[in-house]
Amino acid sequence: MLNNYFRYAKVGGGQHGEVYLCHKLDSKLPPDHPEYRHVAMKSVKRDNPRAERLKQLRKPRIPHSAHTPMVDKLNTTEAKIRKEIAIMKKCRHPHVVRLYEVIDDRLRDKIYMVMEYLAGGEVKWRNDDNEPLLTVEQTRRIMRDAVLGLEYLHYQGIIHRDIKPANLLWTEDRRQVKIGDFGVSHFSYAQRLAAAGKDGDKDPHDPILLDDSDLTRRAGTPSFLAPEVVYEHTHSPSSPSESSIGIYAVASSSTVASVRPRPPITKAIDIWALGVTLYCLLFGRTPFFADPSLPSSEWSLYNSICNNDWEPLPTMGFDRIPTGGRYPPDDDSEGSMVMDLLVRFLEKDVTQRITLDEVKRSPWLLHGLLEPEKWLEVTSPT
């Protein structure tokens, strides 16, 4: 029992804490009242000895500077959870998991985040044989919800940085999907201003959100990282190492930099990850993967993301709808609409990648809506 919450089942956990299913108790309300609800409570201990030891081992041996960025000064479990809280406090949308309350328990030296509980669990997308579990129509519904949630986050200046099926959560009735897990998310003040104009400047901001140096650190799930996040693995088009050593050779950082500067890390990394997610839901596997014959799988995976092309399977979804290959002959087919969308999602050049507004207006996403123009209007974050 904590405050007015009865904690009775552990539903998840990790390095930084545990998640419990709880009841919110209120003697004044009947059990069927909306406020008498299930919630998820994330419990985080301020001082994580294991994480601190790992951090000390990984810390580069550089001289101390008075100009150390805030992200390094506050790179602790408590700082990370407070950043996650500050980001979640900004969010109130039907397709984003909501934060209800924060309990700061000084006695137990813990922070508790009371959040919306999504009883349907994460989106399951493949079976043990790496075959898709969802029909193409189910995938379309999931993608609509994910696009709306992500569009809202970007409008608020939030880059999620870890979009993937496991962070898309079903409501209990499985009619709706919401984006969750903001543990590595980033708030960009510049992006918020660009999206909201002068109104964005009126938002109250927690100082912990106003340091952009955290965006330079790699974060997220390897298979869903955009090419610009692992740009050092990109081959120079004229690199001699590529022709002499093979496709998995890596051009040196100086070689790549001399050809083309590293692209900035922007909200486009979420759009790439959403494209990888779409591919996963349709085909039961990721579009880029490591060469099992090479010693370093992560190194090989990043090379694949940066330099290799993707290929579709002959059919997509549990209902095995034909894709027509990478370049379908029938422009009006379901497969053709999906291939066109994936090509634009998985564009390695960030300046050419599709935008969320273009995704919303794509024929495949709008297919089946009775009033697509009205849907576009009522779902606009502005």
Concatenating the DSSP letter of every residue in 243-301 gives HHH-TT----HHHHHHHSPPPP--THHHHHHHHHHHHHHHHSS-SS---TTSS-HHHHH
Cβ atoms of 96 and 148 closer than 8 Å = no
Is 42 annotated as ligand-binding? yes
Concatenating the DSSP letter of every residue in 323-362 gives ---SS-S-TTSHHHHHHHHHHHHT-SSTTTSPPHHHHHT-
Catalytic residue from among 145, 162, 211, 270: 162
Dmax (CA) for the chain in angstroms is 75
Cα 21 from Cα 110, distance rounded (Å): 17
Helices H / strands E in the chain, number of each: 13, 12
* Region of residue 10 (phi > 0: left; psi between -120 and 50: alpha; otherwise: beta): beta
Cβ atoms of 293 and 360 closer than 8 Å = no
Residue type for 285, please?
Answer: R
Neighbours of 318 (CB within 10 A): 17
Kindly calculate the radius of gyration of the chain based on its CA atoms and give it in whole angstroms.
22
Residue 162 known to be catalytic: yes
As annotated, the active-site residues are 162
Bind-site residues:
42
Bind-site residues for ATP:
42
